[in-house]
């Protein structure tokens, strides 16, 4: 039976989406794992219950996880509480210049679920400063896409090998 990795993400200007896609690509190099990428509004409690590990990918907006990721966690928190404890997870944050508070929020929610953090949060900064830069479509550089791909591959490899 293949292990399942669920990647849940939201993205407004494309940065997080590119990183989540790169993580999916990395995870798909591991043949022993079935990796799924879902947008936050499409993800629900059944998707969490069906997965053996998770990658939560979100922009940092207003020093917080994006609203649609918060909505995903709000909808799913109690329906899966006490049913996914111990499962491995990692967080991927796309931010303009910070990202630390979004990472803390994801960690806090994951602690409530008693998930096991198996990697440091991957924070990618786009260095968008002005309103025009922040609202512009993002193009994530190759080095950061590689970091996301490596994270997806590491999560999948750990799941496949049963090391988490
Ligand atoms: C309303 C809004 C608030 C933001 N607040 C922050 C913030 O608090 N810290 C930060 O580092 N970046 C912030 N940003 C920048 C985004 O995190 C950055 O543009 C990132 O690329 C968004 O990810 P996305 O391209 O996947 O939508 C904000 C962007 C928007 C639109």
Cβ of 124 closer than 6 Å to ligand 1, yes or no, is no
Query: Which residue's CA is the closest to the ligand 1 atom numbered 1?
Result: 61
Q: 3-state class of 6 per DSSP?
A: strand
pLDDT, the chain, mean: 97
Question: Residue 78: in which H helix or E strand, if any?
Answer: helix 67-80
Cβ of 53 closer than 6 Å to ligand 1, yes or no, is no
Q: What's the pLDDT score for residue 1? A: 84
Cβ of 59 closer than 6 Å to ligand 1, yes or no, is yes
Provide the domain limits for residue 36: 3-161
* Structure confidence at residue 144 as a pLDDT band (50, 70, 90): very high
Q: What's the pLDDT score for residue 10? A: 98
Share of the chain above pLDDT 70, in %: 100
Q: Distance from the CA of 94 to the center of ligand 1, in angstroms?
A: 7
Assign residue 61 the CATH number of its domain: 3.40.50.360
pLDDT at 120 exceeding the cut of 90: yes
Strand partners, 61: 64
Cβ of 101 closer than 6 Å to ligand 1, yes or no, is no
Q: Are strands 88-95 and 122-125 parallel, antiparallel or unpaired?
A: parallel
Into how many domains does the chain fold? 1
Q: What's the pLDDT score for residue 49? A: 98
pLDDT at 163 exceeding the cut of 90: yes
Cβ of 15 closer than 6 Å to ligand 1, yes or no, is yes
Q: Are strands 64-65 and 53-61 parallel, antiparallel or unpaired?
A: antiparallel
The predicted-structure confidence for 24-82, as pLDDT tens digits, reads as follows 999 999 999 999 999 999 999 999 999 999 999 999 999 999 999 999 999 999 999 99
């Amino acid at each position: 039976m293949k292990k399942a990795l669920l990647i849940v993400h939201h993205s407004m200007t494309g940065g997080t989406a590119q990183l989540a896609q790169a993580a999916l690509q990395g995870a798909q190099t591991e043949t022993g794992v079935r990796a799924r990428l879902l947008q936050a509004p499409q993800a629900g409690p059944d998707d969490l219950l069906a997965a053996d590990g998770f990658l939560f990918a979100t922009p940092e907006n207003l020093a917080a996880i994006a609203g649609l990721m918060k909505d995903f966690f709000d909808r799913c928190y109690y329906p899966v509480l006490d049913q996914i404890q111990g499962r491995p997870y990692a967080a991927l944050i796309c931010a303009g210049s910070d990202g630390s508070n979004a990472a803390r929020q994801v960690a806090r929610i994951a602690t409530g679920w008693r998930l096991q953090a198996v990697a440091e949060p991957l924070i990618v900064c786009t260095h968008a400063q002005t309103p025009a830069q922040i609202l512009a479509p993002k193009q994530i550089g190759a080095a950061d896409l590689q970091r996301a791909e490596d994270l997806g591959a590491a999560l999948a490899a750990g799941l496949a090998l049963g090391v988490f």
